[in-house]
């Protein structure tokens, strides 16, 4: 993985999130505060504007720069959470010129742990972590098993999809939705949906690259 790979991945995520705007906004209107998609889109646009600045950087520096930019760009609770995610990934990759799959899996785990720590949340609380934590743990296992890209991505996508859908049957204990109590039942968490969309976008990019 190099910095152009990171830029390609964030571009793919931006395109996928914009394509799912209607559904994500609808989910947030149902159980959130209505600004989730606005903040995510603002973050995507901020990263896109950074591309010329990112190109000469190492992957560690690129992730750190993305994180610091998001901290100052995204409003609400999303900014500190997503900013911390990228900064933690950058720290995990310090000193690694071109990270391999194992390096990336460990960096992703560090990023997810940063969200968990900052948000004081865990699996089962109807948040983005219901997708991110299981996916991160699965990725760590799969890279240690030397799974090929197609197998790895297929399993990650299945894991993300099932855990995103599982938030429909959870009672939220974190975020705006927790004020709704059982009224949030029957609704997918918008952060979990956004995380699933992002993970699918990166996996699709990886598998296309492996096929070419």
What is the arithmetic mean of pLDDT over 16-41? 83
pLDDT tens-digit readout, 170-206 = 876 655 555 445 555 678 899 999 999 999 999 999 9
Any idea how long the chain is?
Answer: 212
**Distance of alpha carbon 63 from alpha carbon 206, whole angstroms:** 18
1 half-sphere exposure, CB direction, 13 A CA radius: 23
Nearest to 171 by CA among 187, 157, 186, 182: 182
* Predicted TM-score (pTM) of this structure: 0.89
State pLDDT tens for residues 145-178.
999 999 999 999 999 999 999 999 887 665 555 5
Q: Nearest 5°: phi and psi at 91?
A: -60, -40
Lowest mean pLDDT among 17-26, 126-135, 149-158, 181-190: 181-190
CA 197 to each of CA 48, 106, 145: distance values in angstroms, whole numbers, following the listed order:
18, 21, 25
As a whole number of angstroms, the distance between CA 98 and CA 101 comes to 10
Q: 38-42: long-range contacts (C-beta < 8 A, 24 or more apart)?
A: 39/74, 39/75, 39/76, 39/78, 39/79, 40/74, 40/78, 40/194, 41/17, 42/73, 42/74, 42/75
- The superfamily CATH assigns to domain 3-211 is DhaL domain (1.25.40.340)
Contact 50, 69 (CB under 8 A): yes
Domain boundaries, the chain: 3-211
């Amino acid at each position: 993985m190099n910095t152009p790979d990171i830029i390609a991945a964030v571009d793919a995520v931006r395109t996928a999130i914009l394509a799912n705007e209607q559904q994500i906004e609808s989910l947030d209107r149902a159980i959130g505060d209505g600004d989730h998609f606005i903040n995510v889109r603002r973050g995507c646009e901020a990263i896109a504007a950074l591309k010329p600045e990112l190109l000469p950087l190492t992957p560690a520096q690129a992730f750190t720069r993305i994180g610091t930019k998001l901290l100052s760009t995204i409003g609400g609770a999303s900014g500190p959470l997503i900013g911390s995610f990228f900064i933690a990934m950058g720290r995990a990759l310090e000193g690694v010129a071109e990270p391999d799959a194992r390096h990336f899996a460990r960096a992703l785990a560090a990023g997810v742990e940063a969200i968990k720590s900052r948000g004081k949340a865990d699996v089962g609380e109807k948040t983005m972590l219901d997708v991110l934590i299981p996916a991160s743990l699965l990725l760590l296992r799969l890279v240690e098993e030397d799974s090929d890209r197609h197998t790895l991505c297929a399993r990650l996508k299945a894991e993300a999809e099932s855990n995103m859908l599982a938030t429909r049957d959870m009672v939220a204990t974190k975020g705006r939705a927790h004020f709704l109590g059982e009224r949030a039942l029957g609704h997918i968490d918008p952060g979990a949906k956004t995380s699933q969309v992002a993970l699918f976008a990166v996996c699709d990019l990886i598998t296309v690259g492996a096929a070419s």
